[in-house]
Amino acid sequence: MKKTLTAFAALAVCGLASAQSSVTLFGVVDAGLTYQSTTSRDTTTGASVKQSRTSLGNSAYNSSRIGFRGTEDLGGGLAASFWLEAPITNDDGATGISTFARRSTVSLSGGFGELRLGRDYTPTFWNDTVFDPFGTNGSGTNVISTVSGNTTINNANYVRASNSIGYFLPPNLGGFYGQVQYSLHENASTDATSTTAASSSSAGRYVGGRFGYANGPLDVALGVGRSTVVDTTALERSVQTINLGASYDFGPVKLFGELSNVKNKFDYTAAADRHDSYNGYLIGATVPVGAGLIRVAYSQVRYNEGTAGITGEDPLARKFAVGYVHNLSKRTALYATVARVNNRNDVNYTGSLVSASTTG
């Protein structure tokens, strides 16, 4: 199955300070016109079916959002801060400031680092977006991110985790940085009685970390995490992620790369355990040209199913994307992106590795 994705859009960004200098209102409004064309071919009969769609969307270059953030100096090197950020679907107005689902945290920082509580990005997501020239937004989004966030893996904690406790290293460590995060599942545990068995569930829990080194043109980081998706007496399903990303800015060109392994683990009570794995990589570059920026990336993910008896080649998803961003000012830009997706050997896969473009 092959796809061609094209997006054209204009981006407006605003950041306004309130009467108190410690509180800031910020936001992004991104609108884009997207054309998608999909061709599916039956390898047995040779027949093909083509589908296409044109739509007006949002967040194809930078995620549309509105938020509030503030900081108070407590003295003695301590500071308290908050961050409330809501998604916006400006193409139809269906989603607005009624929910701060993008980020809602409160934190305390000082010479020891930062302690952060609330809903926040997971450590393992950062490598997927930081080392993607397209920043996991729009048609150019790498297939590692698309597969990790799709309904087959169904990991609600892929991008963000609620009820999280996070710690960040202080920024004065000679280029070394890092964070750890633990997300509470908040499920009730019930003790056994004379008529019922004890019950508990860890579904929703996430634990992970990310550590890296950034100095001058070099940035490299390793992320590791585990998310418990299902936890019943019959089955525990967890998603384990490890990824390594790097970038190097030569000036005329900035190079990006990432290696990723995601395991979808099934631990059965009455059946043999198994795990499905998704091995992927990304290479890309950005090239500044005057007031503009050329972006290019290639990514692929190979799926290995853990079920016995599966024959044939492993399913493979590949994407090549190229785009251009033209900055009209510090806050406004025009951009265009074209991407091509190829899904191979889907007959050996219960879903579709990449079935649509991704909007962050």
- Residue 15 belongs to a domain: no
- Which CATH number goes with the domain that contains 307? 2.40.160.10
E strand spans, the chain: 2-17, 23-41, 48-58, 65-75, 78-87, 103-110, 113-121, 160-168, 176-183, 206-215, 218-231, 235-249, 254-268, 274-289, 292-304, 316-327, 332-344
Cα-based distances in Å from 77 to 71, 80, 279? 13, 10, 44
Domain interval for residue 143: 70-187+201-348
Q: Which of 236, 221, 317 lies closest to 1, judged by CA?
A: 317
pLDDT (tens place) for every residue of the chain, 360 residues total: 555 554 444 443 444 443 334 899 999 988 888 777 777 666 666 667 677 778 787 888 888 998 999 999 998 999 999 999 998 887 766 666 668 889 999 999 999 999 999 999 999 999 999 999 999 998 899 999 988 877 667 788 899 999 999 999 999 999 999 999 999 887 776 666 666 665 667 888 999 999 999 999 999 999 999 998 887 878 888 999 999 999 999 999 999 999 999 998 888 776 676 788 999 999 999 999 999 999 999 999 998 876 654 555 678 889 999 999 999 999 999 999 999 988 876 544 444 445 444 444
- Residue 6 belongs to a domain: no
- Residue 240 belongs to a domain: yes
On whether the pTM is more than 0.75, the answer is: yes
Integer Cα distance of 330 and 49 in angstroms: 44
- Residue 126 belongs to a domain: yes
- Count of structural domains, the chain: 1
Integer Cα distance of 227 and 133 in angstroms: 26
- Residue 232 belongs to a domain: yes
- Residue 58 belongs to a domain: no
CB 205 within 8 Å of CB 227? yes
- Residue 18 belongs to a domain: no
- Residue 42 belongs to a domain: no
